[in-house]
Structure 1
Amino acid sequence: MNKMISRIAARALLAASTLVLPAASFVMPAVAQAQNAEQVHVRGSIVAVDGSRIKVRTREGRTVDVTLAEGARVAGVARADIGDIKPGDFVGIASLPKADGGDGALEVLIFPPAMKGTGEGSYGWDLKPNSSMTNATVANAVKGVDGHTVTVSYHGKEKKIAIPPGTPVVTLAPAGMKDLVAGAVVFVPAMKGDKGALTAQQIVVGANGVVPPM
């Protein structure tokens, strides 16, 4: 089940990169189909770049090497605002259960219109312990937006998520290999092979002070 969920997430990110690189087709990475590989999420800052290999200092304090597969796609993020979330938008929200019920957002990604429906659903996420990721539509098929709380719909289900002040809200932006430089903050859904080697078909990179919050 965890592998299936990770692959759903990979589809969403791959679609993001194809959006900013129109020549790329929307397909699942070949490495993601390998039965003996698992997906891991690498979050951290680039330490060095050597051709197709990047060295990343992770948020856990480890340094790992990630090899970018041939034709790997790069997507960027741009700052957005809670007020940018409109009825009918498709969003990806990482959240945690609240003590008083419902969920509280950890971050919000507003997908471009062309990506509506990408990775739709709600599933476990590893941004924080017990967090989840919900890719869903705001308002159109649900109740609407109430202050800083959004009600979203996916596969006929509804979920209400509060967005506290200060929650990172971003959208996708064009990026390329030139943006993969030392110091850049990245989010990498990588495939881990039998011997522990990490390979990535897509990568999300921050720029201009905006970092991938997912």
Structure 2
Amino acid sequence: MSIRFKLAASFVALTLAGTAFAQSSTDKPERIRGEIVSFTGSTLKVHRRSGDTVTIEMQDSSGVNAVKAIQLSDIKPGSYVGAAAMPGPDGKLTAREVLVFPEAARGTGEGHYGWDLGANSTMTNANVDTVVQGTSGRDLKLSYKGGSNTITVPPNVPVVTLIPATRSELTTGKKVFVVATPMAAGTYGGKFVVVEKDGVAPPM
């Protein structure tokens, strides 16, 4: 499997949970954020931000990637991005993080929907139409099927892209972002893991 295909498949898994929190079925994918407690065999234990520790069973098909920090200036008109944002009192969106998709994954999870980085947070996966320098960062005009919006990206907001990683990098203490499906007995089936690498933790 080529790196391009692996990354494209990983982005599909990443956005698979995009609308999971709007649905009540327990077999829908969830997003798990936290720190690795252990990884033994195919069993990954993660201490979540919420305070509990969960068990995730990795499958042969479970993807593992890391993130690499890039510059805000790397976002150009024509880039395809995923931007998590929070609305301000005026309703304008300010980014919490921006993930720049590789060209092979263009169109993945396209749209604007709720996210879980805070109350009223959203995720927009869209094409960058214009980049304008604003008073508090760069303003990205984004368009997607059915709509468009503008998101301000402050200079201190993490901007990353995905890079390949291996299961050997799932070591104790590293931060992870996991898309997983609830299973019996309180365990999860791992779909996709983004693991901290070279000090860069997954911000999504």
Question: TM-score interval w.r.t. the shorter chain?
Answer: 0.7 to 0.9
How much has 1:193 moved relative to structure 2? 2.6
What residue in structure 1 maps to residue 21 of structure 2?
none
How much has 1:165 moved relative to structure 2? 2.4
Q: Does 1:146 align with 2:132?
A: yes
Q: 1:4-56: CA deviations, max 9, x gaps?
A: xxxxxxxxxxxxx974637x79987xxx9xx7512221101101111110111
TM-score relative to the length of structure 2: 0.85
CA distance in 1, matches of 2:10, 2:68: 23
CA distance in 2, matches of 1:90, 1:73: 21
Alpha-carbon spacing, 1:84–1:129, altered in 2? closer, same or farther (3 Å): same
Q: Is the 8 A contact 2:37 2:45 kept in 1?
A: yes
2:6 partner letter: L
Which is strand-richer, 1 or 2? 2
| The 10-residue stretch of structure 1 (112-121 or 156-165) with the greater mean CA deviation from structure 2 | 156-165
TM-score relative to the length of structure 1: 0.81
How much has 1:126 moved relative to structure 2? 0.7
How much has 1:63 moved relative to structure 2? 1.2
CA distance in 1, matches of 2:110, 2:4: 17
Q: Does 1:109 align with 2:95?
A: no
What residue in structure 1 maps to residue 6 of structure 2?
21
What residue in structure 2 maps to residue 159 of structure 1?
149
What residue in structure 2 maps to residue 86 of structure 1?
76
Unaligned 5+ runs, structure 2: 18-24
CA distance in 2, matches of 1:27, 1:102: 28
Q: Does 1:187 align with 2:172?
A: no
Secondary structure, counterpart of 1:114 in structure 2:
helix
What residue in structure 2 maps to residue 38 of structure 1?
28
CA distance in 2, matches of 1:83, 1:166: 12
Runs of 4+ in structure 1 displaced over 4 angstroms?
Answer: 24-28
Secondary structure, counterpart of 2:29 in structure 1:
strand
Taking the TM superposition and a 5 Å limit, the aligned residue runs for 1:46-85 are 46-85=36-75
| The 10-residue stretch of structure 1 (43-52 or 64-73) with the greater mean CA deviation from structure 2 | 64-73
Q: Is the 8 A contact 1:20 1:175 kept in 2?
A: no
Q: Is the 8 A contact 1:18 1:73 kept in 2?
A: no
Aligned equivalent of 2:194, options 179, 204, 208? 204
Q: Is the 8 A contact 2:11 2:108 kept in 1?
A: no
Q: Is the 8 A contact 2:128 2:140 kept in 1?
A: yes
CA distance in 1, matches of 2:187, 2:66: 24
Q: Does 1:126 align with 2:112?
A: no
Q: Is the 8 A contact 1:151 1:158 kept in 2?
A: yes
Alpha-carbon spacing, 1:182–1:20, altered in 2? closer, same or farther (3 Å): farther
Q: Is the 8 A contact 1:36 1:194 kept in 2?
A: no
Secondary structure, counterpart of 1:38 in structure 2:
coil
CA distance in 2, matches of 1:109, 1:26: 10
CA distance in 1, matches of 2:189, 2:80: 29
Aligned length: 189
CA distance in 2, matches of 1:209, 1:25: 21
